[in-house]
Homo-oligomer: A and B are copies of this chain.
Amino acid sequence: MRKSARTRERILAAAAQILSRKGWAGTRLVDVAEVAAVQAPAVYYYWSSREELLAEVVTVGQRATHAHVVASLEALPAGAGALERIDRAIAAHLEVVLDRSDFALAAIRNAAQLPADIRERQLVGQREYADVWRGLVEDAVAAGELTADVDARAARMLVLGALNTAPEWWNPERGPLADVVATTQHVVRRGLARRR
């Protein structure tokens, strides 16, 4: 019972690794199995098909970011200001995509390549996460701390796009994670700032 649960995790993690690097169609069960130190058919003991395995990777990746951001926000003191909350969300999002997770990366990089049915499920989760950010921005605008003179959706998407592509150009050898986070917070806060 215990051991098998660990094997399952190993296969899932291996799938995330390959999926984030090779793309949906390029992810071969043999490669996943090799990374997981297992034979390919072992996958079928836990999943009914390759598609289901990969779909789970995407789901987990999506939830990882969402959950970590929400948890980070909830950890803030109740009186935290709207801008402070946005800063925290930026940090949390970057922490997941830069530090933690082949899963998040697999979800981001493959969003446009998913088979139609899985893509639809993914879009639901994406909208739920977008709602978190919509709330953050709306609150900040209502509090008069952010600009109200640009299309909020476009601005939000620009920010999320910038965050999601950070893994394409940043790696730990270039300096501490905290530095990218700080830079990103500055740029985003100014980008959304009120015209003065």
Contact = CB atoms under 8 A, between A and B. Distances in A.
Interface of A: 20-27, 109-113, 147, 149-151, 153-155, 157-166, 168-170, 179-180, 183-184, 186-188, 190-193, 195-196
Contacts of A20: 112
> Can you tell how many copies of this chain the complex includes?
2
B155 A166 contact: no
Contacts of A162: 158-159, 161-162, 165
Contact of A165 (B164, B180, B193, B196): B164
A184 B109 contact: no
Nearest to A130: B169
Contacts of A186: 149-150
B112 A168 contact: yes
22 contacts: A21-B113, A22-B25, A23-B26, A25-B25, A26-B113, A109-B113, A147-B190, A149-B186, A154-B184, A155-B183, A157-B165, A158-B184, A158-B187, A161-B161, A161-B166, A161-B168, A165-B165, A188-B191, A190-B191, A190-B193, A190-B195, A196-B196
